[in-house]
Amino acid sequence: MSNLKGKTVVLGVTGSIAAYKAAIIASQAVQAGAEVHVVMTEAATHMVGPPIFAALTHRPVVTDFWETRGMADIAHVTLGRAADLVIIAPLSANTLAKLALGLADNELTALCLSTRAPLLLAPAMETGMWQHPATQDHLAALQSRGVHIVTPGGGYLASGASGVGRLAEPLVILDAARTVLGQRGDLAGRRLIVTSGGTREALDPVRYITNQSSGKMGLAIAEAARDRGAVVTFIHTTDLPTPYGATEVRVASAAELDQAVLDHLAAADALIMAAAPADFTPAQRAEHKIKKTADNTEGLTLHLARTRDILRDVADWRAAHETTRRRVVVGFAAETQNLLDNARAKLASKDLDLIVANPVPQTFGSDMVQATFLDRTGGITPLEPMPKEALAERILDEVTARLAPST
Ligand SMILES: Cc1cc2nc3c(=O)[nH]c(=O)nc-3n(C[C@H](O)[C@H](O)[C@H](O)COP(=O)(O)O)c2cc1C
């Protein structure tokens, strides 16, 4: 569940060729539960018709400074007050310049001046306009005032040329919106490490041993934590995208995961170990691809060695380094049998604050999960089956409740 739910979002659309992409942003934000009000500049209405936004948002579209539309109030003032967030996507060079100067000559620029909601700008223009010192100076001025920018990407431009200036992808802009909204969340400023995915233990340069963990649970936790304002370090093994705003650390093996977790622990307030590290790894990694030869016609025996116990290493680190401030550490137990007994033993032996017990293989790759929370006081909370996004929120509720007061 996204933090856009229940939020009032003003979506400004300006006269860029990319205006049609704003329809995707409007539609996705509505589907995420936001109340979306679209304000268009006159130039934008030449690019794409207001009815598309009215239909997608189920609300009238504000286009004209002078039209009262039968309303007794003044749109740029009332909408500006109601807004939790103002997004302008796409943002033209012209409106960008006006915002930097504090001009208020149309409904959108006036709203941006009157509102106290955070401003998220997604510029789109051809490369020369984008790189012009005037544009860059205006951008710097806006950034120095705390305005959030989703920088344009490179690629095909409407002119037929290829270069910088292309509107960021609509879903990236929505992720950026969630990040901005999260800055008022209950985890604002807290530093969380979230690990995710199954590790890959190399046999040779082309083969590895892994497990069925999809990384979906860790990703859901990282996204939810980001939405609640946490500064997230996402240490993961899969090809799933790192949530916008999170710091990505890609690892492959359990040894790399162990090292990455220990490297980031000192700066963290909490660690959520949703990754599924291997317990065993090939004792030796072959330098070259293992071939079928006359020596192995009967088969091949692999010798596996134990990997480091990451949560044990974390517990040892905490014992050595933590004095007054305790980090919150959440582990996962994925078992095919004796789930709760195994989870309870792991909770105690690894000095965890909470363990999330879930039966496998049902959980692997699934969007739904039926988990049980066990905590260090002996509390057991069986949860109903729920999507991984919902479980992520429940886990973060538990983390939030256990965090030391921020200093
Ligand atoms: C076909 C066409 C495409 C345009 N695309 C862009 C664009 O991508 N970015 C931009 O900054 N201006 C673009 N412009 C120029 C703006 O529409 C123009 O500067 C206008 O005054 C912007 O007004 P506004 O900022 O009030 O929306 C385009 C103009 C035309 C005719």
17 CB within 6 A, ligand 1: yes
Band of pLDDT at residue 160, cut at 50, 70 and 90? confident
Statement: residue 257 has pLDDT above 80: yes
Q: Stretch 120-140: mean pLDDT, rounded? A: 97
Q: Which of 1-10, 72-81, 255-264 has the highest mean pLDDT?
A: 255-264
Same fold, 8-182 and 191-289+299-401: yes
95 CB within 6 A, ligand 1: yes
Q: What's the Cα-to-Cα distance from 354 to each of 63, 346, 378, rounded to whole Å?
A: 52, 10, 10
Write out the catalytic residue numbers: 211
- Could you read off the pLDDT of 60-117 as tens digits, one per residue? 999 977 765 555 567 778 899 999 999 999 999 999 999 999 999 999 999 999 999 9
Report which ligand 1 atom has the smallest distance to the Cα of 167.
Answer: 8
| Domain parsing of the chain, residue ranges | 8-182, 191-289+299-401
Statement: residue 334 has pLDDT above 90: no
Q: What is the distance in A from the centroid of ligand 1 to the CA of 12?
A: 14
Report DSSP letters for 25-63, one per residue. Answer: HHHHHHHTT-EEEEEE-HHHHHHS-HHHHHHHHTSPPB-
Q: What is the distance in A from the centroid of ligand 1 to the CA of 116?
A: 27
Q: Which residues pair with 148 in a beta bridge?
A: 120
Give CA–CA dist 268/261, Å, rounded. Answer: 10
Number of C-beta neighbours around residue 365 at 10 A:
11
Give the torsion through C-alpha atoms of 224, 361, 308, 274, to 10 deg. 0
CB-based contacts of 76: which residues, under 8 Å, 6+ apart? 39, 62, 107, 108, 110, 111, 114
Probe residue for ligand 1, chosen from 11, 13, 17 as the CB with the greatest number of ligand atoms within 8 Å: 17
Q: Stretch 157-163: mean pLDDT, rounded? A: 80
Statement: residue 292 has pLDDT above 70: yes
16 CB within 6 A, ligand 1: yes
Report the range of poorest mean pLDDT among 223-232, 304-313, 352-361.
352-361
Q: For residue 347, what pLDDT is reported?
A: 93
Q: For residue 144, what pLDDT is reported?
A: 98
129 CB within 6 A, ligand 1: yes
| Dmax (CA) of the chain | 89
Look at residue 364 and give its three-state secondary structure: coil
Amino acid identity of 402?
Answer: R
Give CA–CA dist 119/111, Å, rounded. Answer: 11
Class assignment of domain 191-289+299-401?
Answer: alpha beta
Q: For residue 71, what pLDDT is reported?
A: 53
Predicted TM-score (pTM) of this structure: 0.87
Peptide bond preceding 90 in cis form (omega within 30 of 0): yes
Report which ligand 1 atom has the smallest distance to the Cα of 44.
Answer: 27
Give CA–CA dist 353/349, Å, rounded. Answer: 11
Q: Stretch 200-212: mean pLDDT, rounded? A: 95
Q: Within 13 A of 377's CA, how many CA atoms are on the CB side?
A: 3
Q: Cα(first)–Cα(last) distance of the chain, in Å? A: 29
Percent of the chain with pLDDT over 70: 97
Statement: residue 244 has pLDDT above 80: yes
Report which ligand 1 atom has the smallest distance to the Cα of 108.
Answer: 26
122 CB within 6 A, ligand 1: no
63 CB within 6 A, ligand 1: no
Q: Given 3.30.420.10, 3.40.50.1950, 3.30.428.10, 3.40.50.720, which CATH number is that of 8-182?
A: 3.40.50.1950
